[in-house]
Amino acid sequence: MSREKISAILSKYLPDSTIEQCTGWIIQKNIHLKITRGRASKFGDYLPLGKGKGHRITVNHDLNQYAFLITFVHEVAHLHTHVNYTHRYEPHGKEWKHEFRLLLSDFIEQKVFPSDIEGALLSYVRNPAASSCSDMNLFRVLKKYDQRPEQVFHLEELPEAAEFSLFQSRAGLVFRKGARIRTRFHCIEIHSKREYFVSPLAEVVLYQKT
């Protein structure tokens, strides 16, 4: 695929000022970028394809432009960790944190992000977690830039005992919202009676009984 076609695709998902740099990464690093359906369990992932075959990165199509960029950088940091460190390393250990911090700091210095996201990122990059949604402050700020369908809520917006399903999940599970315990809500899956602890910012849809 030509540079122009890659840039045209990325222009639908990324801030304009980042398209050239991200296009260059895809070409230079032999990245096979797949933009996927929304997934409740993850925003993106990385897979090395073997010697000479490049690297596959997936990113959910429904992320806002800033969340998409952070997720793409997150996965490119996995690529760098795989290439640069031949010894064993943890998936989100110190090597990955170092690579992610370097890559993301470059975009922060370029003033790519709005001031509220930049402030949250400056705190986050000191000790980045496995996912941006693990940092509730950053996740909450990023969510402000989402365009949610009318029927989609954040779990924290629902009253206690409300019944809901996860917006992007295909598992068909239905939950009843319980009390907040520390950072998450204690929920019961109605049919199996299993307990789950769900993020207050999880995107959910009210369950309609038939």
Show pLDDT as tens, one digit a residue, over the chain (210 residues): 899 999 999 999 999 999 999 999 999 999 999 999 988 778 999 999 988 899 999 999 999 999 999 999 999 999 999 999 877 888 889 999 999 999 999 999 999 999 999 999 999 988 887 666 668 889 889 988 988 787 889 899 999 999 999 987 878 899 999 999 988 999 999 999 999 999 898 889 998 776
Residue with tokens 């990165």: 57
pLDDT given at position 127: 82
pLDDT at 114: 96
pLDDT of 181 reads 93
pLDDT value, residue 130? 65
> 182 vs 37, 76, 79, 188, 200, CA distance in Å?
31, 32, 34, 17, 11
- Would you call 4 exposed, middle or buried from its count of C-beta atoms within 10 A (0-12, 13-18, 19+)? exposed
Residue 169's pLDDT is what?
A: 81
Domain ranges, ordered by start, for the chain: 3-143, 152-206
pLDDT at 147: 83
- Give Cα separations from 91 to 37, 95, 120, 129 (angstroms): 24, 9, 23, 11
